[in-house]
């Protein structure tokens, strides 16, 4: 265990140093996205009622975490595969789980500032009064974890070019056709059914419920679905990492 922890800490430091020029840029992009959704989307509507304000306010941090985990992280992995860094990482005399844990830590920390700034902007912009549940931290971490593990699974399993295309398609789908910034009942029935399985709606519901504490309590179904997606992403990623060429 001590050896694993030492490897993990060294890998976190090495990953941060290797990406020291990219991480600030990713942080800025994610922050502008979260804040931009809160401010910019409101201009598209003649009047923002309390329900719409709540969806925009809670959807913005969710989309920020999706952008970090499903777009930026897999694109960096795809670039590492193209440059040979990915293959080099597999030759390091460290546990594969430590490599994955270090990468996950880096991306989770990158997503936190944009998350906080997006919420603060929403509270100021719409004068929101949130009833935050103690589950808000587990909800945010689980959303970030599921998004990043799914992104890693795609990046590790697919060729770099395909990874870039898929990641761009995912942010388009999550932004325009997922019930994150609007209620699910606005979508066609067949698309609502698909989103019962996909993680996007459950990500938004987990964040929204944890921030508002509905009268019936915070439902656990979104947490269970996101945990299942996280496990699937981890399994696929570790399988590719430990596969012999």
Q: Which range (8-22, 52-66, 129-143, 180-194) has the least confidence?
A: 8-22
**Alpha helices (H) in the chain, listed in sequence order:** 2-18, 22-40, 50-67, 73-83, 85-91, 96-126, 136-157, 160-176, 189-195, 199-212, 221-242
Look at the chain and count its residues: 245
Whether the Cβ atoms of residue 73 and residue 26 lie closer than 8 Å to each other: no
First and final C-alpha spacing in the chain = 28
Please enumerate in sequence order all residues whose Cβ is within 8 A of that of 41, keeping only pairs 6 or more positions apart, or say none.
56, 181
Rounded to whole angstroms, how far apart are CA atoms 146 and 148? 6
Tokens matching residue 78: 């795809």
Whether the Cβ atoms of residue 8 and residue 102 lie closer than 8 Å to each other: yes
pTM (predicted TM-score): 0.88
User: pLDDT class for 229, splitting at 50, 70, 90?
Assistant: very high
For 42-101, give the DSSP string. Answer: GGGSS---HHHHHHHHHHHHHHHHHHIIIIIHHHHHHHHHHHTHHHHHHHSSS-HHHHHH
Rounded to whole angstroms, how far apart are CA atoms 40 and 38? 6
Rounded to whole angstroms, how far apart are CA atoms 96 and 89? 9
Rounded to whole angstroms, how far apart are CA atoms 16 and 103? 9
- DSSP assignment letter at 185: G
CA 198 to chain centroid: 14
pLDDT in tens, 49-101: 888 888 888 888 888 888 888 988 898 888 888 877 777 666 777 777 887 88
Rounded to whole angstroms, how far apart are CA atoms 38 and 181? 10
User: Quick check: helix, strand or coil at residue 232?
Assistant: helix
Rounded to whole angstroms, how far apart are CA atoms 130 and 123? 8
pLDDT in tens, 120-177: 887 888 877 788 888 888 998 899 899 999 999 999 889 988 998 999 899 888 888 9
Tokens matching residue 57: 């306010």
Residue 193: pLDDT over 60: yes
Tokens matching residue 38: 């809160």
Residue 223: pLDDT over 70: yes
Largest CA distance in the chain: 59
User: pLDDT class for 225, splitting at 50, 70, 90?
Assistant: very high
Residue 244: pLDDT over 60: no
Say what the pLDDT of residue 224 is. Answer: 95
């Amino acid at each position: 265990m001590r050896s694993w922890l030492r490897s993990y800490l060294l890998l976190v430091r090495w990953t941060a140093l290797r990406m020291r020029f990219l991480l600030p840029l990713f942080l800025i992009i994610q922050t502008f996205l979260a804040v931009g959704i809160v401010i910019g989307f409101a201009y598209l509507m003649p009047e923002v009622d309390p329900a719409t304000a709540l969806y925009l306010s809670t959807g913005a941090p969710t989309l920020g975490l999706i952008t970090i985990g499903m777009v930026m992280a897999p694109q960096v992995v795809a670039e590492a595969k193209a440059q040979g860094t990915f293959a080099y990482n597999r030759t390091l005399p460290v546990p594969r789980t430590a490599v994955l844990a270090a990468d996950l830590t880096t991306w989770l920390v990158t997503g936190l500032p944009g998350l906080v700034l997006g919420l603060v902007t929403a509270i100021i912009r719409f004068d929101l009064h949130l009833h935050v549940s103690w589950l808000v931290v587990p909800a945010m971490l689980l959303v970030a974890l599921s998004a990043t593990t799914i992104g890693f699974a795609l990046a590790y399993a697919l060729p770099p070019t395909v990874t870039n295309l898929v990641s761009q398609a995912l942010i388009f789908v999550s932004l325009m056709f997922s019930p994150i910034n609007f209620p699910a009942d606005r979508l066609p029935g067949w698309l609502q059914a698909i989103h019962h399985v996909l993680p996007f709606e459950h990500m938004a519901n987990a964040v929204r419920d944890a921030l508002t504490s509905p009268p019936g309590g915070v439902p656990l179904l979104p947490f269970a679905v996101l945990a299942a997606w996280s496990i699937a992403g981890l399994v696929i990623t570790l399988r590719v990492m430990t596969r012999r060429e």
